[in-house]
Amino acid sequence: MKKEEGRTNIEEGRTNIEEGSMKKEEGWGDEKKGKKDEKRKGGRKENKERRKKRRKERRKERKERRKERKEGRKERKGGKTKREEGKTKREEGKTKREEGVTKREEGRKDEKRNERRKEEGKTKREEGKTKREEGRTKRKEGRKKRKE
């Protein structure tokens, strides 16, 4: 039916665009269009609100799941997280570097280093051996100790 109408219009020398503009001028189909728009707008608003509610619910669920996971971790660890334990100098606001400096000042690292040097005995260097030779002898001594 429409095809036949279309043919007649084309036969009369009008293009589809011209035909459409003519229909608009006549107000053809305005009543139907208005009704459709009203329906659609109402639907869109409702859908939007539904989506909003769903998002909100999902957020809450995610938050709860996160909390549960965190609590589970705490239980497995033994109750306290690192922050709750209080990691000494780092918690006082010092950086890692500053923390190291304080340890050195307290003499922790230096004492250990000095003890090791005393045990090794810097004798070989005094005997006139190079650092490389000294290393070799240390390795040999280590092998002997392991064998014993």
Contact 110, 118 (CB under 8 A): no
d(CA 48, CA 37): 16
The C-alpha atoms of residue 43 and residue 51 are separated, in whole angstroms, by 12
Q: How far apart are the first and last CA of the chain?
A: 109
Q: Measuring CA to CA, which residue among 17, 117, 53, 66 is closest to residue 9? A: 17
- Give the per-residue pLDDT at 109: 64
Q: Are 136 and 128 in contact (CB under 8 A)?
A: no
Residue 79 carries which side chain, given as an amino acid letter? G
pLDDT < 50 regions, the chain: none
Helix (H/G/I), strand (E/B), else coil: 103? helix
CA angle 26, 28, 34 (to 5 degrees): 125
Q: Measured between alpha carbons, how far is residue 28 from residues 22, 23, 34 in Å? A: 9, 5, 12
Give the pLDDT confidence score for residue 127 in this predicted structure.
63
pLDDT of res. 56:
96
pLDDT of residue 29: 64
| Confidence (pTM) | 0.25
The per-residue pLDDT for 60 is 96
pLDDT of the residue at 115: 76
In this prediction, residue 4 carries a pLDDT of: 57
Residue pair 33/23 in contact by the 8 Å Cβ criterion: no
What per-residue confidence (pLDDT) applies to 58?
97
